[in-house]
Amino acid sequence: MDLAGRRVGQRRYTDIDNVRFVLRSVYKYDRALLGLAALNAVFSSITHFVPILMPKLVNDQLTTGGAPGTVLAIVAVFSAALCVSASIAQTAGNWLSHRFIVVRLRLIAESGYKFMTMDFQNLEDRKVLDMAQRGDRAC
Residue 5's pLDDT is what? 61
pLDDT tops 70 at residue 2: no
Residue 85's pLDDT is what? 95
Residue 46's pLDDT is what? 93
Cα within 13 Å of Cα(70), Cβ side:
11
Long-range contacts of 109-118 (CB under 8 A, 24+ apart): 111/135, 111/136, 111/139, 112/136
Q: Which of 70-79, 111-120, 130-139 has the lowest mean pLDDT?
A: 130-139
CB 74 within 8 A of CB 56: no
Average of per-residue pLDDT across 99-128: 82
Higher pLDDT, 45 or 127: 45
Residue 48's pLDDT is what? 93
Residue 134's pLDDT is what? 77
